[in-house]
Amino acid sequence: MLGRAGRKGGPVLVVFGGIHGNEPAGVRAIRRVWPEIERRSDSLRGEVVALAGNRAALRDGVRFVKRDLNRRWTFEGIERVRSADPAGLADEDLEQRAILERLEPVLAHAHEPVTVLDLHSMSGTGAPFCCMSDTLRNLRVGLGLPVPLILGLEEVIDGTMLGYLSDVGHRGIAFEGGRHDDPATVDHHEAAIWLVVARTGLLPEDQVPGLAEHRARLRAACRDLPRVVEVRYRHVVREEDDFEMAPGFRNFDPVRKGQRLATDGRGPVRAPMSGRLLLPRYQGQGEDGFFIGRVVPRPVLRLSRAIRRLGLDDEVARLPFVTRDPVDPDRLVVPRSYLVGPVVDLLHLCGYRRRLDAGDRVVFVRRRQDRLL
Ligand SMILES: [Zn+2]
């Protein structure tokens, strides 16, 4: 644990750095703000906890030793490392257990949903942005950061720490600050920490040092970028694909349907739809080549929040072709033949973002916490 400040009984913010060991900027930002947070410990309305890890990978400057620490945060994965004999655990399993040992008492003693701010950086140059599960609790805090917000990315990546936290009723916001080795990335992380401290009510705005400057810094770094983008397409890459992104694309670049975005063993890879190109893969590995997103206009986002706040999201299950999973009320089953644009839009509005293919049907899943409100 890097630090703990404030008092019990109020809002709790956990700032997390270095879950990927080649992303030390988050840990640097935490170290930079920590003396300022401690100095204000008596004024904090609640508690700020700072955690770092993957510690072994941070020491070696690698993303991970054996496996990505930001995966396997499923209920089964957690139970497995929790119940195992620590002597028999190694590398990331041991790291995950260490994080759980620090995180779980914090979550258990909190009187309200805990906010976890998870700081990341990336291999290429790009403006800061954040991503999170599309839940009301997350939106309330995430929209306080003046950077583009990507919705639905977490729904296509299995077992992230924040996905798990969202499922058990807390808030999880991943903040990408910029290129790994760019000093500005640490500044962006620092700005995000203070803005979230203010947004969660831990300190009154006028007691947050440099709040206006932090807000202006992030705004300037994201000038002309959309506010909210939702993922509509994911290009999956297999190892044998020989995938190579066409040069020069940046995160959030507009692309047209049919535009050549990459090449692989079979020839050119073209955009299947127009929209915003997200996370083009120039380095590293993994099965995501790129994503295409669509800008969510402000009024649509407002409508989506209102629908859920009023509990109208359950009405979507009344559509004649929609069936609710009898075991899991957060799952809706839709025949593939009904899967046209407006139906998908409506499901997204109601928070059903995760898509599981089941033959001639598609299962849409929402994060369970919207039901816990
Ligand atoms: Zn990362």
CA pair distance 290, 75, nearest whole angstrom: 28
Ligand 1 centroid, distance to 210 Cα (angstroms): 26
2 phi/psi in degrees, rounded to 5: -85, -30
User: pLDDT digits over 162-204, tens only?
Assistant: 988 988 889 999 999 999 999 999 999 999 999 999 999 999 9
Residues 207-233: pLDDT tens digits? 999 999 999 999 999 999 999 999 999
Q: Does the global pTM surpass 0.85?
A: yes
285 confidence band (pLDDT: 50, 70, 90): low
Q: Does domain 3-221 have CATH number 3.40.630.10?
A: yes
Q: How many helices (H) and strands (E) does the chain have?
A: 10, 18
DSSP string, 293-361: EEE--HHHHHHHHHHHHTTGGGGGGGSTT-EE-SS-TTEEEEEGGG--HHHHHHHHHTTEEEEEEETTE
Ligand 1 geometric centre to CA of 23 (Å): 6
Q: How far apart are CA 313 and CA 366, in angstroms?
A: 10
Q: How far apart are CA 200 and CA 182, in angstroms?
A: 28
Q: How far apart, in Å, are the Cα atoms of 93 and each of 58, 81, 86, 122, 366?
A: 15, 6, 9, 24, 28
DSSP 179: E
Give CA–CA dist 100/108, Å, rounded.
11
Ligand 1 midpoint to CA 149 (Å): 16
Is the pLDDT reported for residue 272 higher than 80? yes
Distance 82 CA to ligand 1 centre (A): 24
Q: What is the mean pLDDT of residues 85-94?
A: 90
pLDDT band for position 311 (cuts 50, 70, 90)? confident
236 C-alpha to ligand 1 centroid (Å): 19
Q: How far is the CA of 320 from the centre of ligand 1 (A)?
A: 42
Report the pLDDT value the prediction gives residue 157, as an integer from 0 to 100: 80
Distance 360 CA to ligand 1 centre (A): 35
State in Å: Cα 141 to ligand 1 middle: 20
Distance from the alpha carbon of residue 53 to the mean position of ligand 1, in angstroms = 11
Q: Is domain 232-289 annotated with CATH 2.40.50.100?
A: yes
Measured between alpha carbons, how far is 298 from 284 in angstroms, rounded to an integer? 34
| Ligand 1 ion: Cβ-proximal residues, 5 Å cutoff | 20, 23, 120
Q: How far is the CA of 70 from the centre of ligand 1 (A)?
A: 8
Instruction: Using pLDDT thresholds of 50, 70 and 90, give the confidence band for residue 284.
Output: low
Distance 227 CA to ligand 1 centre (A): 21
Give the percent of the chain with pLDDT over 90.
Answer: 66
Ligand 1 centre distance from Cα of residue 19 (Å): 7
CA pseudo-torsion sign 273, 279, 282, 287 = negative
Nearest 5°: the CA angle 183, 186, 189 is 150
Cβ(51)–Cβ(240) below 8 Å: no
36: CA distance to ligand 1 center in Å?
A: 25
Q: Which residues contact 86 (CB under 8 A, 6 or more apart)?
A: 94, 97
Domain boundaries, the chain: 3-221, 232-289, 300-371
Could you tell me the distance, in angstroms and rounded to a whole number, from the CA of residue 166 to the centre of ligand 1?
A: 18
Strand partners, 303: none
Distance of CA 10 to the CA centre of its chain: 24
**Contact by Cβ (8 Å): 192, 118:** no
CA–CA distance, 24 with 59 (Å, rounded to integer): 10
For residue 298, report the distance from its CA to the centre of ligand 1, in Å: 28
Q: Please give the distance, rounded to the nearest whole angstrom, from the Cα atom of residue 150 to the centre of ligand 1.
A: 15
DSSP string, 56-123: HHHHHTSS-SSS-TTS--SHHHHHHHHHS-GGG--HHHHHHHHHHHHHHHHHHH-SSPPEEEEEEEES
**Residues in contact with 14: Cβ distance below 8 Å, sequence separation at least 6, in sequence order:** 48, 49, 50, 51, 103, 106, 114, 115, 116, 117
pLDDT the model gives residue 282: 83
Residue 186 pairs in a beta bridge with none
Helix (H) or strand (E) holding 18: none
Separation of CA 34 and ligand 1 centre (Å):
21
The residue among 72 and 195 whose pLDDT is bigger is: 195
pLDDT band, residue 313 (cuts 50/70/90)? confident
Q: Which residue has the tokens 């720490």?
A: 161
Mean pLDDT across the stretch 230-246?
90
| pLDDT beyond 90 at 370 | no
DSSP helix/strand/coil, 129:
strand
How many angstroms is it from 334 CA to the middle of ligand 1? 34
| Dist. CA 177 → ligand 1 center (Å) | 10
Q: What is the pLDDT of residue 187?
A: 98
Distances (CA, A) of 122 to 205, 234, 283, 356, 370: 30, 19, 10, 28, 30
Q: From ligand 1's centre to the CA of 78, what distance in Å?
A: 20
Look up residue 36 and give its two tokens.
Answer: 């300022």
Q: What is the pLDDT of residues 126-147, one digit of tens each?
A: 899 999 988 888 999 999 999 9
End-to-end CA distance of the chain: 30
